[in-house]
Chain A
């Protein structure tokens, strides 16, 4: 399986994601500069965390206009696994590949802590290796992770099984209905605020992240 990790100006977690994919999961994986992401022949693509374009205007708003998004959209339409982590999730929303909006945390501060997450559905390219209703642990680190959508959309996402993960126990950012990750209709495009690449090594706090990435292989 060949996985691309797109680098935008300001992406920070790109090397982290590449390291986990290459060293821990032994996948053929490469960092691609956004202007050079010219083809959709990859088997999967990851949009990593960070502060693309400094989070200026709105987090992910400028990156969503990058030429790279054209091919991300094509891969999404082809049913391939597409994962947006943190800033990547923000970019997928701004690009219209996922619905809703991600607003400033209710506490108005950046929050960096490990959280408990409930897997709401295993019908997604990044949770199919996990059991529904199981709990995993992963860190979050963001300023704008409060998922927002109107009641109709929230109900639609819930009934369609497109809410992929919720915070279990404490809701660290005030996100509606505890939503931490959602998917598109097909389940192949997932956006998540927590960082699976930071939960891929026992010495760093846990390895549940490996199952998130590993799901891609099961999905295909």
Chain B
């Protein structure tokens, strides 16, 4: 299907701006290139003004937002790179291919910094799988897509997070984050800085698949979305693996000056961005671009988003060396152009100029200042009658898909390849990976659409707080973060308001704990065209932590009989946005409060206890509250506990509020030195109390009015087998 005219998403204002800046009418090819770069997905034209709120620097941050990945110094000449991508729209119509190619995309961003991808994480949001066959189909295939791709390229998927909510039924969210490792001296930047350098296109061939993929992501999903076949790409992890090895080898040989992932907007955006970053221009020869279908026109070639392609900026004089390495790995490599000193992106075809646009004009879309308006959100004031059978209440909660064990998922992911995964999925609050300098990296991804829907500011600050707690619970110090904002249509003032507040929430909390944001993503238009329903606000946080010493690595499992269980933090009657409410189809009115300073002190105190060797197990207390946290610690260690919640710091409340409230700033830990731990907490003015002892084969919890006593086997059956049962019943 030839693209004779393109469907543009540029507004009349943007087109007028373009004509004025160029002082002429762009030709169709030039319009296509502008359209490709200036769509929301690539240009961040709506979100840039809002994102400047995020703090971005710290002594460890070498490169912050603005490049393909953030770069963090971890000492001894080593750096870690971090990036996140989403593939929501493609996954909604082709869950296997969409999710798989999502991984392909994030890998390229890590690779083009000159670092080796060493770990992946997935953040998934699906509709209600207990009710919808469609959502089951989406989930099974998204997981299979991530597994097939990640396993094939040999990068372990080590952590993740899943949420289920009706609002994601037709708009699933598939986030993939990637961690890379390399030497500071091998770092590459995607900038064309030296005129005379060659520009190579390596990897897959260019075809008609994926045309308008970025514009596809910048509009709502239409009712007949299944017909949008050209926007979906076929995954090819084998080619990606070869590209990884070839690129790293070429980098080690010091042949490459820079690399650029080709994603949204294809060559049009890739070329303009490297030239813009390098303050130069590029000259590209259309006939040199390897194409898959003979009758493709120039527009199709330049905006195609065919997968597995990268641009390599090769030092002048090293062409033959690069081609030799690419040949060894059978990776297609074509010299398609060169870097020039004039600040223009010029496309030539057999010597004739067919497009020429100033670099900085093309690469920098005019900012749109969107209007925002505080929405009227319907919230229910209903309450649940406190149950008397607390065992039943607990079993119901741990058997709900959002809480239940995700083992069905992570057993499909090779999480051990690379022999660096110290804390594996399910063992600890975050994944822990060995680094070559004797230190360890901890990584986690978190989201909470229920909280953010009630209050985007507080909700997203809580998301970041929870993610940091998960990092601290494994004995790591948070050193960098990524944010990913996923919302509906930004033209909708209420949605844009939610987005702005969500970013502010994360930014304010990040500043309070001095955590720099080194990158992120914004994904708008997650909305069903047919019914106009947008997803719940779904900002995601990714946090990277560093552990100096192997002895600090802490898992969630109960270890030895007799150890004391300590509740850190104060529990309040805060069921708004909780999983407990969610399983009863309630939302509540406000999410739990977050005292930034108390949260900071609490995390700091817990980390001190861990570092000084007093903690034997630690678990963040969040989704599902204390009840779920205790179950997870018990099942992980195959040891029960006797706990008396009447002892812990809390206000007067019903027993279900006590057990399932999702108040912030709380941890549960075990220790053989309870007095020392309580003293450290008290010194930091952090609430804490001994609430029980590890031991036995059942979980006994005494509350104010009720008590529960449940054998581990029964808890295990409900917790472990839910996903399998629901997906295959």
Contact = CB atoms under 8 A, between A and B. Distances in A.
Interface of A: 9-10, 12-13, 15-16, 19-20, 33, 35, 49-51, 53-56, 109-113, 139, 141, 143, 195, 197-198, 200-201, 203-204
> Ordered nearest first, which 9 A-B pairs have the shortest CB separation?
A12-B154, A54-B238, A141-B414, A51-B152, A16-B419, A110-B412, A112-B414, A198-B416, A109-B412
A20 B418 CA distance: 11
Given A53-B238, A110-B147, A12 B330 contact: no
A10 B241 CA distance: 6
Contacts of B148: 110
A5 B434 CA distance: 23
A56 B238 contact: yes
Contacts of B330: 9
A197 B152 contact: no
Contacts, number: 79
B329 A50 contact: no
Interface string B121-149: 00000000000000000000000100110
Nearest to B425: A112
A112 B152 contact: no
Contacts of B238: 9-10, 51, 53-54, 56
Interface string B19-35: 00000000000000000
B725 interface: no
Given A203-B422, A204-B421, A204-B422, A110 B416 contact: no
Quick one: which of A9, A19, A56 has the most chain B CB within 10 A? A9
Nearest to B155: A12
Given A16-B417, A51-B238, A109 B411 contact: yes
Contact of B417 (A12, A55, A111): A12
A49 B147 CA distance: 16
Contacts of B360: none
A168 to B, nearest CB: 19
Contacts of B419: 16, 19-20, 197-198, 200-201, 204
9 contacts: A9-B330, A10-B238, A15-B418, A16-B418, A50-B154, A56-B238, A110-B414, A143-B151, A203-B422
B416 A10 contact: no
Contacts of A16: 417-419
Contacts of B479: none
A67 to B, nearest CB: 14
A54 B152 contact: yes
Contacts of A51: 151-152, 154, 237-238, 241
A9 B422 contact: no
Contacts of B154: 12-13, 50-51
Contacts of B257: none
Interface string B398-423: 00000000000011111111110110
B328 A112 contact: no
B349 interface: no
Contacts of A201: 419
B355 interface: no
Contacts of A54: 152, 236-238, 241
Contacts of B237: 51, 54
Interface string B223-266: 00000000000001110011000000000000000000000000
A199 B512 CA distance: 42
B411 A111 contact: yes
Given A9-B330, A10-B238, A53-B238, A112 B415 contact: yes
B88 to A, nearest CB: 24
Chief secondary structure at chain A's binding surface: mixed
Nearest to B239: A54
A54 B413 CA distance: 16
Nearest to B422: A203
A141 B414 CA distance: 6
Contacts of B192: none
A203 B416 CA distance: 12
A21 B123 CA distance: 36
Contacts of B413: 110, 112
B153 interface: yes
Contacts of A197: 419
Contacts of B236: 54
Contact of B550 (A56, A141, A203): A203
A207 to B, nearest CB: 12
Contacts of A9: 238, 241-242, 329-330
Contacts of B242: 9-10
B406 to A, nearest CB: 13
Contacts of B147: 109-110
A141 B417 contact: yes
Given A16-B419, A51-B152, A54-B238, 15 more contacts: A12-B241, A13-B417, A20-B419, A51-B154, A54-B237, A110-B151, A110-B412, A110-B413, A113-B411, A141-B151, A143-B151, A195-B416, A198-B416, A198-B419, A200-B419
B411 A112 contact: yes
Nearest to B236: A54
Contacts of A49: 417
A12 B416 contact: no
A35 B421 CA distance: 31
Interface string B662-706: 000000000000000000000000000000000000000000000
A198 B418 CA distance: 8
Contacts of B144: 109
Interface in B523-546: none
A203 B328 contact: no
Contacts of A33: 328
Contacts of B411: 109-113
Contacts of A109: 144, 147, 411-412
Contacts of B412: 109-112
Contacts of B329: 9
Interface in B317-349: 328-330
A13 B152 CA distance: 11
Nearest to B143: A109
A54 B234 CA distance: 14
Given A110-B414, A112-B411, A141-B416, A10 B152 contact: yes
Contacts of A12: 153-154, 241, 417
Nearest to A112: B414
Nearest to A51: B152
A197 B417 CA distance: 10
Nearest to B432: A203
Nearest to A200: B419
Nearest to B153: A12
A20 B419 CA distance: 10
A112 B421 CA distance: 13
A22 B241 CA distance: 24
A173 to B, nearest CB: 12
A139 B416 contact: yes
Nearest to B152: A51
A49 B418 CA distance: 11
A13 B421 CA distance: 14
A61 to B, nearest CB: 13
Nearest to B553: A203
Quick one: which of B147, B328, B414 has the most chain A CB within 10 A? B414
Nearest to A195: B416
Interface string B417-443: 111011000000000001000000000
B241 A112 contact: no
A198 B154 CA distance: 14
A139 B421 CA distance: 13
Contact of B416 (A19, A35, A112): A112
A89 B98 CA distance: 31
B648 to A, nearest CB: 34
A141 B417 CA distance: 9
A15 B153 CA distance: 13
Contacts of A198: 416, 419
A65 to B, nearest CB: 15
Contacts of A141: 151, 414, 416-417
Nearest to B414: A141
B408 to A, nearest CB: 9
